[in-house]
Structure formats: structure tokens, C-alpha cells
Amino acid sequence: MKPAIEVAGLSVHYGEVRALDDVSLRVSPGRVTGLIGMNGSGKSTLFKSIMGVIRPDRGSVLVAGATPAAARRRGLVGYVPQSEDVDRAFPVSVRDVAMMGRYGRLGFTRRARPQDRAAVARALDRVGLAEYADRQIGQLSGGQAKRVFLARGIAQDARILLLDEPFAGVDKRSEATIVRLLRELAAEGRTVLVSTHDLHALPRLADEAVVLLRRVVFHGTVSGALRPETLAPAFGVDVLAPERAA
Ligand SMILES: Nc1ncnc2c1ncn2[C@@H]1O[C@H](COP(=O)(O)OP(=O)(O)OP(=O)(O)O)[C@@H](O)[C@H]1O
């Protein structure tokens, strides 16, 4: 099957810090792929490269066969950020945030049509937040806020969903809701790439796993990713110091 995301020889530096070094990766549709790696291993940088918001030093990224910027313009990729990346003081309702997923389909007036309202209502229902639609997002818990951003991706009807740490600060019930939903979205044929520190959730969540440490150190089965000989070098203390670019 043609990969939904194709990364080839990707290297990204921030000044002196080498965040990604010669990363090559093919992510398949219809599956949940878990992306694991310690803090600073380059997971967010990989997402930003797939979203086309940072420019690589070397290498290429294709998203549904298009450049990341073109795929984003066409609404093919939905991004669910870490909630720390989101200004929750911004005065918008839960419904407004989910409606942002429809912006690519609205004209410049951004006037929602009945089908947009219906898509937003369905998305909020799927994440279990229908009754919170009129709440300001600042009044939600961290776990609920995550689910609102997931609803935005679902309302967008994106073929490819990238989720950055969806379980951080989330209780077991929200985690179970998110896992079930991601599995449903993959079963619908979507591509779901999820970064997580939660290694315990991985077997329930993912069909396959990628272990990142500036480069791909493993890509295969979840059980293979969780083997001590895979995890030790990727999470070991001796690799905590940020590597300096050559
Ligand atoms: N804007 C930036 N400027 C300078 N260095 C950066 C910037 N963003 C990330 N880095 C560095 O690049 C490396 C990779 O960071 P990245 O955020 O991609 O890692 P991560 O795997 O997502 O980490 P975490 O698990 O903590 O979210 C780290 O060493 C980080 O300090």
C-alpha cells in the first residue's frame, strides 16, 4: 500500500542543536503508528516537518504524495497539539475550536453552513463533549481540552492525523476514550501518527511503533519496540545530553 507519509533523509538543526539526523520513515494508512522517544528526541520536530511549518536542512517529506505545505492547504493533515502549546486563555468556545477544523472548507466569510455545524456536532459527540459545546476552552480540564483539539481534527475530516502527546495530563477514562477513537479513525482508513511517553498504553493503542532518537532507531511491531534492547539505548541516561551538530 502506498504510504501516507514518506520521509526521506530528513535532517533538521536549530542553530547548533541537531534535532533530526537522516530520518527516513514511511507511515501507512489504516493503522495507528506510535512514535516514542525521550524528551528532546525530535518527535515534535518530525511533526512540524510533516506539517511543513519548519524547513529541513536536508531530505524530503511527502504527505499523501504532495509537499507538506500543499497537503496542509488541502486540509489533508490534522494536527492535535500538546495542550501546553495552546493559549487556553483565548476566549473561544469548544464549538468554535472544533469549527476551526472546517475553516479550509468555508469561504472567506467563514460562515458555517448546516453541514459544517453537523460535522462539528458529530465530532464533539465522538469525543464525548457534546454537552460542553458552549463552554469557553479556558474552563476545561487539560484532558477535556485535548479532546476538543481531537474534535477539531475529526471535524476537518483529515485523512492524516498527527497527535502530539495526547495522553499527557489525561486520566484513565479520557485515555480510553482517545485510544478507542484513534482505533476507529484508523479503521476508517485514516493515517494516525501519535507521539507518546506512555509506553504502557502503546500495545492497546498502536499497530506499529517507531522509536526516535534524532534518527529512527526502530520501526516495527509494538512488542519489538518495547524490548529492553530497543528501549535502553533510546531512553538511556547517557544520551540525555543534547548532541551538538557536527
Ligand atoms: N525552536 C527551537 N530552538 C532551538 N532548539 C529547539 C527548538 N525546538 C526544539 N529544539 C531542540 O531540538 C531537539 C528536539 O526537540 P523536539 O521538541 O522535537 O523533541 P521532542 O521529542 O518533541 O521532545 P518532548 O518529548 O520533550 O516533547 C531538542 O534538543 C530541543 O531542545
4: containing domain: 1-76+191-246
In a domain, residue 103? The reply is no
pLDDT of residue 59: 97
pLDDT of residue 186: 97
Counting ligand 1 atoms within 8 A of each CB, the residue from 35, 45, 193 with the most, and so the one to mutate, is 45
pLDDT of residue 86: 62
Give the neighbor-by-neighbor strand order of the sheet with 32-36. Answer: 77-80, 160-164, 191-195, 32-36, 208-213, 215-220
Q: Helix and strand tally (H, E) in the chain?
A: 9, 9
In a domain, residue 129? The reply is no
Ligand 1 atom nearest to 242, measured from its CA = 29
Count other C-beta atoms under 10 Å from residue 133's C-beta: 17
Q: How far is the CA of 172 from the centre of ligand 1 (A)?
A: 27
Counting ligand 1 atoms within 8 A of each CB, the residue from 7, 20, 38, 39 with the most, and so the one to mutate, is 39
pLDDT of residue 84: 58
Report DSSP letters for 98-130, one per residue.
HHHTTGGGS-TT-PPPHHHHHHHHHHHHHTT-G
Count other C-beta atoms under 10 Å from residue 229's C-beta: 8
In a domain, residue 53? The reply is yes
- Quote the number of domains for the chain: 1
CA distances from 222 to 32, 108, 160, 233 (A): 11, 44, 20, 17
Can you state the percent helix, strand and coil of the chain, rounding each to 5? 40, 25, 35
pLDDT of residue 138: 87
Ligand 1 atom 18, closest CA: 42
DSSP 3-state assignment of 230? Answer: helix
pLDDT of residue 68: 95
Q: How far is the CA of 145 from the centre of ligand 1 (A)?
A: 23
Ligand 1 atom 25, closest CA: 39
Residues contacting ligand 1 via CB (< 6 Å): 14, 17, 19, 37, 39-45, 242
Q: What is the ipTM of this complex?
A: 0.97
pLDDT tens string, the chain, 246 residues long: the values are 678 999 999 999 999 999 999 999 999 999 999 999 988 999 999 999 999 999 899 999 999 999 999 998 888 999 988 765 567 777 899 999 999 999 877 777 778 889 999 999 999 999 999 999 999 988 888 888 888 999 999 999 999 999 998 888 788 888 888 999 999 999 999 999 999 888 888 999 999 999 999 999 999 999 999 998 888 888 874 433 444 444
Q: Would you state the cell numbers that stand for residue 201, as one nine-digit string? A: 498504553
The pTM (predicted TM-score) of the whole model is 0.90
In a domain, residue 5? The reply is yes
> What phi, psi does 83 have (nearest 5°)?
-65, -20
In a domain, residue 207? The reply is yes
Is the Cβ–Cβ distance between 19 and 41 less than 8 Å? no
Ligand 1 atom 17, closest CA: 44
Q: How far is the CA of 242 from the centre of ligand 1 (A)?
A: 10
pLDDT of residue 203: 93
In a domain, residue 96? The reply is no
In a domain, residue 13? The reply is yes
Going by the DSSP 8-state scheme, the letter that residue 210 receives in this structure is E
pLDDT of residue 83: 65
Ligand 1 atom 28, closest CA: 40
Distance, C-alpha 63 to centroid of its chain: 14
Alpha helices in 13-82 (DSSP H): 43-51, 68-73
The CATH number of residue 9's host domain is: 3.40.50.300
In a domain, residue 153? The reply is no
